[in-house]
């Protein structure tokens, strides 16, 4: 297998019979990768992110023992394992930053308004069951934070409340972490001490989420840009889709948000990230203001 040094300056000589790896991704190759990535998952690499794609692809190419970006491109495009390889591509290119209690105003909105409103409506149908989706959940911290808040602040108030929380992400490794329920200190850095003590147990150098929370939360691999997969996600009352739309271009944002709209029940809410907006993306929702945050409601 070809070994790659850390810097371009220390580029090795080619082994006899092999050409040296060209560490520079040409603009033409960058455009080919950008296109295949975009059409597969909606992530759009701007020109100024070429260096990022270059280094991330290089790690995967190095692992496969390939000798050029073009060899890897052909493998991705034409190999019969290309769908399988795309899973590794997604692992290489996605940014999975997340942590527990990342967006407290959204959690407050759930407690003060959203869940009470949905519970009142559900009770009329005879079953108080809420379906919540953390779309692009990364390793699950958002989904579990919602689970904790519901268990601690809402179930005591609404004993008939049942919840089903689903986390999905395109990256298989983060989904495995989410399923393990084990988190490093970095993930819990914003967790209030009360919840940390009550719902986490130290395990080796990690923290394990309480099984009482875990039982209501499940995870699966899913590509938000895949219309077929999206069509299977229906009847949700609340969707969190935070800090992922920023990686898409406007066309991809519109497509994903329109599918999320279809996944919501009438009266349901969509929450996106602090720095994100649906301005110019969708007019289908009613904007609802809460202290320090907004929600998008499907009327």
Ligand X SMILES: C[S@@+](CC[C@H](N)C(=O)[O-])C[C@H]1O[C@@H](n2cnc3c(N)ncnc32)[C@H](O)[C@@H]1O
Binding to ligand X, residues 145-184 (CB under 6 A)? 169-171, 174
Integer Cα distance of 152 and 160 in angstroms: 14
Using CB under 6 A as the binding rule, whether residue 273 contacts ligand X is answered as yes
Query: What are the tokens at 91?
Result: 């692992």
Burial of 93 (0-12, 13-18, 19+ CB in 10 A): buried
Query: What are the tokens at 220?
Result: 């699966």
The only residue of 183, 247, 269, 271 in contact with ligand X, by rule CB under 6 A = 247
Integer Cα distance of 147 and 173 in angstroms: 21
Residue range at the interface with ligand X (CB under 6 A); choices 65-73, 187-195, 209-217, 223-231? 223-231
Please choose, from the candidates 143, 121, 153, the residue with its C-alpha nearest in 3D space to the C-alpha of residue 237.
121
Output 170 or 213, the one with its CB closest to ligand X.
Answer: 170
Please enumerate in sequence order all residues whose Cβ is within 8 A of that of 294, keeping only pairs 6 or more positions apart, or say none: 287, 288
Site string for ligand X, 102-121 (x = CB under 6 A): x-------------------
- What Rg do the C-alpha atoms of the chain give, in angstroms? 22
Residue range at the interface with ligand X (CB under 6 A); choices 46-54, 94-102, 153-161, 194-202? 94-102
In the complex, least distance from residue 7 CB atom to ligand X, rounded to whole angstroms = 27
The only residue of 177, 187, 243, 259 in contact with ligand X, by rule CB under 6 A = 243
Contact predicate 98/138, CB 8 Å: yes
Please choose, from the candidates 198, 222, 189, the residue with its C-alpha nearest in 3D space to the C-alpha of residue 147.
198
Binding to ligand X, residues 41-70 (CB under 6 A)? 41-43
Integer Cα distance of 292 and 7 in angstroms: 44
Output 30 or 90, the one with its CB closest to ligand X.
Answer: 90
Query: What are the tokens at 42?
Result: 């909606």
Residue range at the interface with ligand X (CB under 6 A); choices 92-100, 123-131, 179-187, 197-205? 92-100
Residue range at the interface with ligand X (CB under 6 A); choices 35-43, 46-54, 156-164, 209-217? 35-43
Q: How many residues touch ligand X (CB under 6 A)?
A: 25
The binding site for ligand X (CB under 6 A) comprises 41-43, 94-98, 102, 136-138, 142, 169-171, 174, 223-225, 242-244, 247, 273
């Amino acid at each position: 297998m070809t070994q790659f040094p850390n810097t371009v300056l220390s580029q090795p000589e080619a082994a006899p019979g092999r050409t040296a790896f060209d560490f520079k991704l040409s603009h033409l190759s960058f455009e080919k990768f950008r296109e295949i990535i975009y059409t597969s998952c909606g992530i759009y690499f701007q020109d100024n992110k070429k260096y990022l794609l270059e280094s991330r692809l290089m790690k995967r190419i190095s692992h496969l023992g390939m000798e050029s970006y073009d060899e890897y491109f052909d493998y991705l495009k034409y190999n019969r394992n290309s769908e399988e390889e795309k899973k590794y591509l997604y692992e290489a290119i996605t940014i999975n930053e997340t942590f527990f209690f990342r967006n407290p105003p959204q959690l407050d909105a759930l407690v003060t308004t959203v869940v009470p409103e949905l519970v009142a409506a559900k009770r009329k149908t005879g079953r108080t069951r809420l379906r919540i989706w953390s779309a692009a959940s990364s390793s699950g911290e958002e989904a579990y934070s919602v689970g904790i808040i519901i268990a601690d602040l809402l179930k005591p108030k609404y004993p008939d409340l049942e919840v089903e929380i689903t986390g999905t992400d395109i990256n298989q490794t983060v989904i495995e972490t989410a399923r393990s329920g084990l988190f490093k200190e970095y993930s819990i850095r914003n967790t209030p001490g009360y919840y940390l003590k009550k719902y986490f147990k130290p395990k080796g150098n990690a923290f394990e989420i309480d099984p009482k929370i875990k039982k209501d939360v499940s995870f699966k691999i899913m590509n938000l840009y895949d219309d077929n997969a999206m069509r299977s996600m229906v009847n949700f009352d609340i969707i969190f889709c935070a800090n992922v739309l920023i990686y898409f271009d406007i066309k991809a944002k519109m497509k994903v948000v329109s599918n999320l709209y279809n996944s919501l029940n009438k009266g349901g809410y969509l929450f996106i990230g602090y720095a994100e907006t649906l301005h110019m993306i969708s007019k289908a929702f009613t904007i609802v203001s809460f202290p320090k945050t907004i929600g998008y409601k499907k009327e």
